[in-house]
Structure 1
């Protein structure tokens, strides 16, 4: 038995959501147990004009901007950016690694990661050295000051995630993370991505 369907119109699509009484996650039924039916798009793509504000890229960007604002409000150091925090976490998880490996670990492009490394080094949170076997390769390492910042940030990082997803109920939060991982796990070239650090 299911509840009555809720219907929403989104730029030429009718999305019908039916939530089962069972709270169990079921991947086969879609996001968080919701059944989603889209109609009108393939049959008649010109039903309504293209609205950029309804598009996934625009909505992801707005959600990310909201997350960045929450991060900056809650960071232990106001000058520490979200992508700098991600870089410090990657160094903690992987140990001393090359700049190229850091690109893969953070999904930040080469040009941007160089700027992030420079800023973290100027804050005395990391150190840079040359690879003993290949002098052309730069090795980036977390140092105690960087580890201390991470220890202070961990409780706040959990709070930042909670605040970012605050408008969502628990089932919606699970669904959102599942869908974002599904999109993010598609093979991408990290050199095609850009972040401001």
Structure 2
């Protein structure tokens, strides 16, 4: 039997990338603050959930690489959504804190975030939505979820 032809359009990486691109586009078009990116929003949410965190802790919690998280923190600091301070025990360690302005941004964004999720899921049936989230969690090793 001859090998099946390779069709990149049917490959998981290609489909995941296209789905992610679609989501990012939906996010940018529907965010309560068009200057806030999806990754910046996740960073703010992580700080609200976990409290003041080091850059390394944010990298682990958000799955964003060190160089990218550094730029995100710089942009969020410039907008006064987060503040940075040195750790009392280790002056080389930077601790990121959510500001009141950052917390207010999350509050404004949450309704948009729910709407963005709905738009991203599109025409999926309720059972397909549950299955998709389950499979994505399984693929990423996040079996526990929130």
TM-score category by the smaller chain?
over 0.9
Out of 33, 40, 51, the residue aligned to residue 95 of structure 1 is 51
2:33/2:109 contact within 8 Å kept: no
Change (3 A) 1:98 1:75: same
User: Take 1:129 and 1:67, find their aligned partners in 2: how far apart are those partners?
Assistant: 33
- Give the unaligned 5+ runs of structure 1: 1-43, 187-197
Is residue 101 of structure 2 the alignment partner of residue 149 of structure 1?
Answer: no
User: Take 1:51 and 1:129, find their aligned partners in 2: how far apart are those partners?
Assistant: 50
User: Take 1:112 and 1:51, find their aligned partners in 2: how far apart are those partners?
Assistant: 32
Is residue 140 of structure 2 the alignment partner of residue 184 of structure 1?
Answer: yes
More helix by share: 2
Name segments (4+ residues, structure 1) moved above 6 Å.
none
Structure with the larger RCO, 1 or 2 (CA within 8 Å, 6+ apart):
2
User: Take 2:117 and 2:30, find their aligned partners in 1: how far apart are those partners?
Assistant: 11
Aligned counterpart, 1:9: none
**Secondary structure at the counterpart of residue 28 of structure 2:** helix
More strand by share: 1
Normalised by the length of structure 1, the TM-score is: 0.70
Tell me the matched-pair count.
142
User: Take 1:66 and 1:87, find their aligned partners in 2: how far apart are those partners?
Assistant: 20
Aligned counterpart, 2:19: 63
User: Take 1:105 and 1:86, find their aligned partners in 2: how far apart are those partners?
Assistant: 10
- State the Cα RMSD in Å: 1.1
Larger Rg: 1
Normalised by the length of structure 2, the TM-score is: 0.94
User: Take 1:151 and 1:79, find their aligned partners in 2: how far apart are those partners?
Assistant: 16
